[in-house]
């Protein structure tokens, strides 16, 4: 903008201005502003159009410099003013652009707020890629778009929207406690209006049964995939088989898990005969192993 101000007299002054419709000012534009310049070649490049909200004013000295090579005289105090015609975007235009981008005619789009700044004429575009995922508790998300004008220029705009559609989601039928595997009786399917583009919502019971919530979820909550972890192969208090290996020596014993764990994790196991605890690696459901210890090390 600094360069533009240095090169062109872009001033927000009062006065009559001719509307521009392209990125360049031509001789035909000057002829529209000043009939005295009608003799100029219509395709003569005069300069660039101003940015929206600004004016390009060509005063007598500059007009004379442009007209003299073509043998055209201008009045001493002549000037020509150009600006973009601006108007606020109607919500209907925003909705039309959003529906085009979504390609989901069943989706319901609510515009909660939008940019009221005047915009130049041109197609309104809201790229699908600029729409952020909607959290389930969202009061709306920002969707950034633009008005394309003067061939490839863009005037940025925005809207706060809520987008929903009828969808089937997994819902907590009862309280889902942090760290406790989800049973079939704890969840259910519900079809309701939900955020249309939240990829985290679980849609089938198979996606959640047996998984472990990473935090407690209240009854009625929509279950999100990113809040679930794999079920622990071993739960605290569970009876486990302990495989003990030390070189060629191998034997198996019974134990009780003193902590929960996933496959590959180290947990505490109690020897049921001696009451002593030892560390073991989780190998799978109900099975742990101890490596490199003598039988006495787990007695």
Paired tokens of 22 = 């392209």
Query: Can you give the pLDDT at residue 261?
Result: 86
Residue 275 makes CB contacts below 8 A (sequence gap 6+) with: none
Paired tokens of 105 = 């005619």
Phi first, then psi, for residue 89 (nearest 5°) are -80, 130
Identify the CA nearest to 118 among candidates 97, 87, 94: 87
How would you class 112 by CB atoms within 10 Å of its CB: exposed for 0-12, middle for 13-18, buried for 19 or more? Answer: exposed
- Residue 93 zone, left/alpha/beta (φ > 0; ψ -120 to 50; rest): alpha
Domain 168-229 matches domain 239-298 at the CATH topology level: no
281: helix, coil or strand?
Answer: strand
Query: Can you give the pLDDT at residue 2?
Result: 35
- Beta strands, E only, 71-174: 79-83, 108-114, 124-125, 141-149, 153-172
Residue corresponding to tokens 């309701």: 192
pTM beyond 0.75: the answer is: no
- Residue 123 zone, left/alpha/beta (φ > 0; ψ -120 to 50; rest): beta
Neighbouring C-beta atoms of residue 271, cutoff 10 Å: 16
- In whole angstroms, give the CA distance from residue 46 to residue 25: 5
Helix (H) or strand (E) holding 28: helix 27-33
- Alpha helices per DSSP H over 78-197: 91-102
Residue corresponding to tokens 């070189």: 247
Torsion of CA 180, 181, 187, 192, to 10 degrees: 90
At the second CATH level, the architecture of 168-229 is Alpha-Beta Complex (3.90)
How do residues 219-243 score in pLDDT, each as one tens digit?
998 898 889 988 778 888 999 999 9
Helix (H) or strand (E) holding 191: strand 187-195
Enumerate long-range contacts of 201-206, CB under 8 Å, 24 or more apart: 201/136, 201/167, 201/169, 201/170, 201/225, 202/169, 202/170, 202/228, 203/167, 203/168, 203/169, 203/170, 204/170, 205/170
- In whole angstroms, give the CA distance from residue 268 to residue 259: 6
Domain extent listing, the chain: 2-83, 91-164, 168-229, 239-298
Q: Which CATH number fits domain 239-298: 3.30.70.920, 3.20.20.70, 3.30.300.20, 2.30.30.760?
A: 2.30.30.760
Query: Can you give the pLDDT at residue 294?
Result: 54
Residue corresponding to tokens 């739960």: 235
Q: Which residues of the chain have pLDDT under 70?
A: 1-15, 133-138, 194-199, 292-299
Phi first, then psi, for residue 80 (nearest 5°) are -130, 130
Paired tokens of 81 = 């003013």
The neighbouring-strand residues paired with 117 are none
Paired tokens of 172 = 């907590």
């Amino acid at each position: 903008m600094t360069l533009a101000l240095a090169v062109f007299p872009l001033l927000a002054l009062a006065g009559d201005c001719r509307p521009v419709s392209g990125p360049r000012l031509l001789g035909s534009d000057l002829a529209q502003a000043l009939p005295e310049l009608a003799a100029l070649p219509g395709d003569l490049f005069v300069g660039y159009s101003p940015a929206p909200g600004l004016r390009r004013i060509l005063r007598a000295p500059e007009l004379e410099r442009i007209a003299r090579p073509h043998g055209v005289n201008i009045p001493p105090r002549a000037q020509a003013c150009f600006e973009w015609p601006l108007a606020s975007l109607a919500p209907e235009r925003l909705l039309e652009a959003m529906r085009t981008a979504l390609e989901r005619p069943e989706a319901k789009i609510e515009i909660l707020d939008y940019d009221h700044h005047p915009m130049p004429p041109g197609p309104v575009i809201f790229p699908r890629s600029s729409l952020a995922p909607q959290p389930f508790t969202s009061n709306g998300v920002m969707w950034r778009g633009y008005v394309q004008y003067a061939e490839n220029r863009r005037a940025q705009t925005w809207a706060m929207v809520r987008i929903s559609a009828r969808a089937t989601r997994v819902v907590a039928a009862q309280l889902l406690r942090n760290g406790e595997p989800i049973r079939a009786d704890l969840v259910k399917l519900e079809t309701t209006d939900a955020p249309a583009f939240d990829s985290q919502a679980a849609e089938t019971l198979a996606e959640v049964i047996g998984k472990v919530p990473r935090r407690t979820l209240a009854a009625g909550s929509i279950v999100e995939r990113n809040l679930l972890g794999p079920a622990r192969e071993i739960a605290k208090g569970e009876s486990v088989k302990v495989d003990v290996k030390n070189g060629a020596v191998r034997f198996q014993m019974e134990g009780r898990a003193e902590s929960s764990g996933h496959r590959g994790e180290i947990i505490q196991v109690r020897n049921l005969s001696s009451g002593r605890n030892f560390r073991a690696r989780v190998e799978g459901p109900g099975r742990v192993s101890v490596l490199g210890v003598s039988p006495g090390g787990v007695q």
